[in-house]
Amino acid sequence: MSDLAAGMEQVLGDGSRVLTQPQMVERLSKDFYWYSPVLKAMLDNKRADVVVQPVNVEEIRAVLQYCHAHEVPVTVRGAGTGNYGQAIPLNGGVVLDLQRMDKIEAIGEDGVAVCEPGVRLGVLETSAREVGWELRCYPSTVAKASLGGFLGGGSGGVGSVKHGGLRDFETVRAIEVVTMESEPRVVKHEGQAVHEILHAWGTNGVITRIWFALAPAVAWSQVVLTFKSFDEAFNFSERIATDATWDKRLITVFEWPLPSYFGPVKQLVREGEASVFFLIADAQMDTLREVADEAGAAVMLAQPYAGLRSQPLLSDYTWNHTTLWAMKADPTYTYLQCGFSPERAREQFALLKSRYGEDFLLHIEWMKNGQGVMIPGAIPVVRFSTEERLNEMIDYCREIGVFVANPHVNHVEGGGRYREDNVQLQAKYKYDAKGLMNPGKMASFARRQALEEQPA
């Protein structure tokens, strides 16, 4: 047994939660990084030395105290569904796997859930709906993903068309984090201070407790429409997205042939046609059918939503699950994460299609931004040939005014959700001055550290 594993056993006093078996360590060191051919090549051979599974805050503090004293890197893991290689340790050390800290402590009458970080979002959504609430937004990986991982590495998803992303509208009310210091502290962040920790990829502390605002539960329906052309589908989706009288949780538009990749729901698509998937208030389903009919759409599905057990569950084909289905069908596909301009979207689509044709397939996810503006967000599926061509696509998108959060880089800053005010970096200086938390993932810190370490 390595000194590190022995040290961890001593710290936890329980060897069964210190994992060293190579296949287990390999599995728990990896996430969905292989979504990106660039990250796949970069991260394939990275793994931890040992995985530790704490069950409470005191154990986390003890692990961090040991690692601080012995200069051991620590990478926090929720469920490992991130797709930027966020949870993959670049320098070995400890993976701190929080799956055993999965309690929902309370769902208050004010609609705020208090949770441990390892709680699965699907469990929280189902529990919340039982008492009249639901998640404001969640990733399409809801069944598996953890709340701590969503805050650490996610941004939004189903529900963002109504409630914006994770960073918006005070959805995250407060967070407690454990610091990486000689005497690790538990620090509570409330209000604006939560932004120091949100989407920092576990580089500046371990989230151990979350106050998460929910929304009143709505009876939803799932609806699938198909249209002869992408333009018609987009026009219709825009009409519903931008009209506040429609109560909606999901509006997704797919260019053909993307729907052809959705094997289990093939009966919901039509050869050559574009599709729109909705979660819409059940009370508005019939009206939606009527306006869809007038707009020349075919209604392929219209049924009440029965929670995450619904069959089919449309969210399984939306957000980044769309990419998964496409990659299953054709491994040369990968993806980008974009935001089109509400005013120029049609012109931007035309420019991209004329330049890349079938190599750039449009997949739109409508979402509200922090200012309440409805944005045609997008996760286009793109053909990968070389990294240079992928970068050229990203450059071209930016040139024509399309925002890109580049999912083919492995640091917080490059991913496009970095905050200009640098509060995440400031928090890293406060809580992890030695740079032991997920080292290498906050590029601005790594650069400063390298400069300081250079001989005078």
Ligand X SMILES: Cc1cc2nc3c(=O)[nH]c(=O)nc-3n(C[C@H](O)[C@H](O)[C@H](O)COP(=O)(O)OP(=O)(O)OC[C@H]3O[C@@H](n4cnc5c(N)ncnc54)[C@H](O)[C@@H]3O)c2cc1C
Amino acid at 153: G
Least Cβ distance, residue 245 to ligand X (angstroms): 26
The tokens for 166 are: 């994770």
171 binds ligand X (CB under 6 A): no
* CB of 141 closer than 8 Å to CB of 149: no
Q: Which of 7, 32, 209, 268 is in the footprint of ligand X by CB under 6 A?
A: 32
320 binds ligand X (CB under 6 A): yes
* CB of 213 closer than 8 Å to CB of 172: yes
363 binds ligand X (CB under 6 A): no
The tokens for 220 are: 């939803």
Residue 141 or 237 with smaller CB distance to ligand X? 141
Residue 179 or 438 with smaller CB distance to ligand X? 438
Question: What's the rounded Cα separation, in Å, for the pair 312 and 309?
Answer: 8
Q: Taking Cα atoms as reference points, which of 117, 110, 63, 71 lies closest to residue 91? A: 71
Q: Which of 82, 111, 164, 407 is in the footprint of ligand X by CB under 6 A?
A: 82
Residue 153 or 380 with smaller CB distance to ligand X? 153
249 binds ligand X (CB under 6 A): no
80 binds ligand X (CB under 6 A): yes
Least Cβ distance, residue 143 to ligand X (angstroms): 10
Stretch that binds ligand X, among 51-59, 154-162, 265-273, 390-398 (CB under 6 A): 154-162
* CB of 104 closer than 8 Å to CB of 123: yes
Residue nearest to ligand X (CB): 149
Q: Token pair 């992408």 is at which residue? A: 230
29 binds ligand X (CB under 6 A): no
Residue 235 or 310 with smaller CB distance to ligand X? 310
Q: Which residues contact 57 (CB under 8 A, 6 or more apart)?
A: 176, 178, 186, 208, 209
The tokens for 46 are: 């990275």
Task: Give CA 328 to chain center in angstroms.
Answer: 20
141 binds ligand X (CB under 6 A): yes
Backbone angles phi, psi at 127, to 5 degrees: -65, -40
Question: What's the rounded Cα separation, in Å, for the pair 125 and 147?
Answer: 11
Residues 202-231 close enough to bind ligand X by CB under 6 A? 202, 206-207
How many amino acids of this chain bind ligand X (CB under 6 A)?
38
Least Cβ distance, residue 393 to ligand X (angstroms): 21
Residues near ligand X, by CB under 6 A: 31-32, 75-83, 86-87, 98, 117, 139-141, 145-146, 148-150, 152-157, 201-202, 206-207, 319-321, 324, 438
